[in-house]
Amino acid sequence: MSQIFQIAIDGPVAAGKGTVSRLVAERLGFLYVDTGAMYRVAALLATRNQVDWQAEAQIVQLLAQTKLELRLPTENEKDGRLITVILNGEDVSWAIRTEEMSMGTSAVSQHKRVREVLVYKQQEIAAVQNVVMEGRDITYRVLPQAQIKIYLTGSDVVRAKRRHLQLLTKGQDLSYEQVLAELQRRDEQDKNRVHDPLQIVSEAWVIDTSDLEIEKVVEMIVERAKSLQSH
């Protein structure tokens, strides 16, 4: 069996990580893993069970009792989602994508034990198949041996516009100013996290998507992956 190939992509919210990762995975025939969805599930679990987002031990316990599946959308699930998320048999792909769950994700991802549980699950997935995995700590915590490490970024204005459009298309009526303020708050929280803050590792390939078409970014990554795989 040929060596497992891993592409690790980090970056702030709305930098295009999900779309780029999904398309790169599709082109290469790799599995796309959205680790942020796992933290969103943790926030959703807490909310549904009336557990405070700060209650680390209870959230860890909930995750231990939970069956969580991530898979590519089937033909009848192609409604704009990048990945299908199944929680205990229920499709929660859109339930986890609200602004409330974004706030919950920021809160639960601060917990060291929650991160340990989810990082272990992520590493299990990547140990047995080629992956494109995206999140906030993939290049140095989850997949430190990844053959390609990328930090995908963009200006906060461009990212807020993308996020705002995304929310409007899902029927969430928030102003651009609200989205920009929340995005900037998330950025600060991600950078100042006690455990695994958002950072750029020295060997990361930094790609600013502010003025780049998604297709161009995808092409660049696919080319590099193919080149490395052929050597």
Q: By the 8 A CB rule, do 10 and 134 touch?
A: yes
pLDDT digits over 111-151, tens only?
Answer: 999 999 999 999 999 999 999 999 999 999 999 999 999 99
151 belongs to a structural domain: yes
* Domain span including residue 123: 6-230
1 belongs to a structural domain: no
pTM of the full predicted structure? 0.87
Count: domains in the chain: 1
Stretch 220-229: mean pLDDT: 96
**Distance from C-alpha of 156 to C-alpha of 181, rounded to nearest angstrom:** 10
Which CATH number characterizes residue 31's domain? 3.40.50.300
44 belongs to a structural domain: yes
208 belongs to a structural domain: yes
pLDDT digits over 156-167, tens only?
Answer: 999 999 989 988
Whether the pLDDT of residue 204 is over 60: the answer is yes
pLDDT at residue 2 in the model: 62
